Every structure is written in C-alpha cells, then in structure tokens.
Structure 1
C-alpha cells in the first residue's frame, strides 16, 4: 500500500501575522494599509517592510466593502477635439504620474475622455453614479467646463491641475505659477536683445493661457517695450494670416503656449522663409519630448509634470480618506531649459 502524504496548502498570511512580526496591534496594520495620518511614517515603513517580507497582500475587496469605496480614481482629460490635444504628451505624462502615485495607496486609475464637454460630463456622471471611482483629477482648467461644476455642486472629491476660475477658496488645485512662467519666458527673450515679441496660442479658454499671457504683458511693460495682442490660431485662416502678422509687427521673438504647438509654429514660419533662431527666436512651455525631437532643440520651461500629478493624487487621497484639503492651492516650481531656439541679438549688434 502506497502511503501518500497529503499536500499542505500554503498558509495565507493574515493581518495578525503581520502585526505579530512587526510588534504592533492589528488595528495599526489596518491603519497602515489605509495610509491613515494617525500612524507615523516610521511605523508605516516598518509595517510595510514586514508585509513585503511575508508576502502579505491586503484584501482590497474586503477593505472596499467596509469603507464603501472602489479603490480607483478617475483622471479627466479635456475634450480631445483637435490633433494638438490628442497628441499632447502632457496628458499621458500626467496619467503616468498619477498612476505611479496612486499605486502607493493601492488605487487604480480610470480615464474619462470624450470629443466634447457634453459627452465628457455624461462619462464622468456614469463613473460617479456607478461608483467606479472614489474621486477625480482634472487635468485642465476651462472657463466653460460643466464637469467641474458637477463635481463641486455634488461634493465629489476632486483635485484640479490648473487654477480654478471660481470657488478658488473651496477647490483643491495644483499648478505652476503660470503668470511667472510667461513673464520669465518673455524676459529670457528680452535679456537676449529682443524687443518685438509676440505671444502665440492655440487655446483661448484655459486658465494657463490667460496667466501666461498676463506674464508676457507684465515683462514687456516693465521693460517699456511694445505689447501685442495674443496671436490666436483657431481656424485655417489664422495660419494663412500669420505671415502678414510677422511682417507688420517685425517680431524677432515668439513665446508659444506649449512645445507641441511651438513645433508646428516653427514649421509654419519655415514655410514663410524664416529660420529659427536666425530670424525668429522661440520659447515655449512643458519641456516635453517634442522639445528635442527636431532641430533646433526648443528652449522650454519645465513645469515638472510628474510633481503636478503626484501632488494632485496626494491631495485627492486626503479628501477620499476625509483628511481635509478643502481650498488648498499648491504651487509646483518650474525651470527654464535653455537650448537652441533663442538667438542673442546683443552679440550680433556688438559685432556690427
């Protein structure tokens, strides 16, 4: 007779096992899993290390049922109504940053996108009412946005990447100082001898446009140089008329709303017979992959997208865990990255 030993099932690691090895109470382990603020960072680090050593995986289903949460956050993209929007790396980089930070809280990420605001609002409503997510991160700030009104009026946890248009004292938003960005980008051109500078944009409703244009105006006014109306590209005729604008203004410098559109503007002026930076110098924003895809490499302001996404996620989680964060504004530092698209006119004048 063959004596067969019964195979033992591997023992599942429990909260009690983690608590025993870590030398803490089971309630402490539960609070660490939920990232509760009452637990010190030192204790959290110790408990998480024990969890990793034992191979303990929190029972997220039980946790969610107990807390009535879905363990997911929604990232809302602006209406993807143009090729620039579809191809803008800012949104993909933001999603990546949010996803990385969300994983620290054992949260997954769902994306809400649509071609227009009406469909986008319906998508967000469905995600909320079906409890697919516990809160949202908006990656834009538009002055005609029904989504932010819906979230605010229904007291749904959300964080905004960008500056709020209204209820600033009640909305959590994370942003750069876009007015300072616009000012310093313009000042960089002024410091290099440029006196006739244009501000170029293909968005006119987002807050970052207003703030960056205000900064542009401020820099020129301080330097007592001419301020031009923003050159907006909203239709095919704007591209055709731009050549005449360049001739009339005799501009030597351009401040462009972001890298992706700056590349398009550089291609456009090249068709008109202008060379960058020999004839026109360009400064843009975001320091995205587009800044180094083609020559000359773009001088661009790095807005630290990773930090924007990380802080927005943290502030949203504070709301989800009912830890406050009402009406908080967080400013993320920026840095000008000097490359090849700005010509120093002072050197040319000195050599003449």
Structure 2
C-alpha cells in the first residue's frame, strides 16, 4: 500500500504551534522590528520543531527581488578566455561575498555576442536576477547598452568605454600598473623594454600600454610600439625585432601569455632571465607553474570580485545613490624572471 506524500509544513502550521497570527510568522521571517525578540525566538523554535522550510522563491516574488546577481562572462569563443583563471578567482570571491547578503550568483555566458545578449535579456525578463556584474569591458558593448537603456542595476569590473558617469566601476588603475612595471625594470637598469600583447582592443591593454609609454618618456628612454603576437607573421616580426633591437626586458599583458613568451624566447635561444627579463600582470596560478617563476603585478582579483558585489548591493538598495568608481590597489611580486643590468 502506497503511503501518501507528507504534506509540507506551512506558515499557518507554525502560527498555530506558537499561538500567533500567520502574519507574525511572516514578519519573523523578514526579521521585522515590529516583532519582539522573545516572539521571534518562539517562532524559530517552532519552525525547527515542525521542520518548516521557507519558500524562498515565493518570498522573493512578494518582495519583487530575486536575490540573485547575474555575472556576465565575455563571450567565450576564444580558448584563452575559457582557461583564464581571472574569471574563476573573481567568481569564487564574488560568491563568498554574496553569501553574506543571502544572495546567490547566476552565470550568463555565450559563444557569441548575440547569444550572450539573448541570455542576459532572458534572465532579466524572467526575473531570475536583480541585475548584473560584468566581468569584462568591450567597445560598443550591446550588453552594457541594454543595461543602461533599461536602467537595470549593474556594476562593471574594468574601465568601460562609455557610460562611465552612470556605471558603478571597480577596477585597478591600469595606467599606474603599466608605469609600475616599466619603472621597476628601469630601476633594475633596463633601457630597451618592449611591451608584448595578444590583444589590442581591450581597454586594459590600452591603459597599461599608456602607462608604459609614460614611464619610458619620463625616463627619456627609447620608446617602441607595442608588439602584437597573433598571426604567424607576427612571430616572424618578433624574431627580427629581438635580433635587431636587442631588448633586455619584456612587459607582457598577463601571466598566461607570459608563459608562451618564455617558451618562445627559449625556442629562439634566449634564456629567461639571463638574456631577457620579463614582467607580467595578474599574479595568477600561471606565474608559478614552471620555473622561472614569473615576476608579476598582483591585481588582487579576489578583492575586485568582493567589492563589485558590495557596489552592486549598494546600488540595488538605493537606486538614487551616486555611481562610484573604486580602484583596487596592486602589488608587484618579485620572483625569478628579472635580473639587474650592470651600469655602464
């Protein structure tokens, strides 16, 4: 004989157990100040005794909040982006911070820009999220334009190309990062320094390269155009530049790409750091995967994620609050890829 499924405990059951009105139980769930601590304690004990489980979805619907933040990844058609530890480190920190506010995260991703935008729109229209945190910046980004035009709460990790006066921004001072990396090499005696990248359009590259240019100019050293390595012919040009210009140091856009540059230098017969010094950015797991360990600037990814959640919650709780731009400090971590150049 089949047993009937056990009926779920309701607010009315809890109210009957304590001898209070159902509205008292409801306000206890909201930790409302109108209910005394003594009554709240009685209600909570009754909930534990009866095994009452709050219907979070129904409560969120009544409050008109989903208590969920949508986290927007860049569209992931590039293999490097899928394996970049920045995103996982940021999301883990964001999840820890969100849990302090009883908020969860929902990831928005896509293989193309259109697919990503469709997912973002669907998540918001179905009220599955209260707004979004963008883990990237992109020129003419349709997702940021959608969030802005519909007054949807959002925070951006990075420096957006537009809407800077109306968007909550959490970022590093990437110009200062570029200057710091360059000045560190200059102080170690390096005078011929290249800036190496595999991206050109991203704001993070442009800001870091500008900082490099400023430091080179301040020190009255030879200024080189950035070196982009994407296509096979780019690598041939890099080989020629290494032979003709003979740089003593390279600044690389991030740790993951720096590993490739170290391998490339080895293939070309240059030893790191004996023949060529390298500094990169992010201080990710890639910086200590193989020897020589990479000297890298720590951008404090976890702090970027935590502060982004804080800024989003602040905006959600007060839609009339002023937009803020928060800079996270950086730290240069000295390891094994830089040596001093003796003064002549």
1:207 maps to 2:224: no
1:96 maps to 2:77: no
Equivalent pairs, count = 321
1:321 maps to 2:314: no
Counting only pairs closer than 5 Å after superposition, residues 165-180 of structure 1 correspond to structure 2 as 165-180=161-176
Q: Which residue of 2 aligns with 1:71?
A: 67
CA contact (8 A) 2:147 2:153 kept: yes
1:279 to 275, 278, 281: 275
Q: Which moved more, 1:267-276 or 1:234-243?
A: 234-243
Distance (whole Å) between structure 2 residues aligned to residue 132 and residue 248 of structure 1: 57
Q: 1:304 to 1:120 in 2, by over 3 A?
A: same
Distance (whole Å) between structure 2 residues aligned to residue 131 and residue 236 of structure 1: 47
Q: 1:51 to 1:340 in 2, by over 3 A?
A: farther
TM-score (norm 2): 0.84
1:248 maps to 2:239: no
Q: Which residue of 1 aligns with 2:184?
A: 188
Q: 1:128 to 1:272 in 2, by over 3 A?
A: same
Q: 1:156 to 1:271 in 2, by over 3 A?
A: same
Deviation (angstroms), 1:320: 2.2
Counting only pairs closer than 5 Å after superposition, residues 209-224 of structure 1 correspond to structure 2 as 209-224=205-220
Q: Which residue of 2 aligns with 1:30?
A: 30
Q: Which residue of 2 aligns with 1:44?
A: none
Q: Which residue of 2 aligns with 1:290?
A: 286
What secondary structure does 1:109 align onto? strand
CA contact (8 A) 2:140 2:161 kept: no
Q: 1:326 to 1:120 in 2, by over 3 A?
A: farther
Unmatched tracts of structure 1, length 5 or more = 1-8, 18-24, 33-37, 39-46
Deviation (angstroms), 1:327: 2.2
1:184-230, Cα deviation, whole Å (9 max, x unpaired): 00111101110000111111121111110010001110000011111
Q: Which moved more, 1:257-266 or 1:98-107?
A: 98-107
CA RMSD of aligned residues (A): 3.1
CA contact (8 A) 2:192 2:221 kept: yes
Unmatched tracts of structure 2, length 5 or more = 1-7, 18-24, 34-39
Deviation (angstroms), 1:138: 0.5
Distance (whole Å) between structure 1 residues aligned to residue 136 and residue 326 of structure 2: 15
What secondary structure does 2:194 align onto? strand
Q: Which moved more, 1:205-214 or 1:235-244?
A: 235-244
Deviation (angstroms), 1:79: 1.9
2:160 to 160, 164, 172: 164
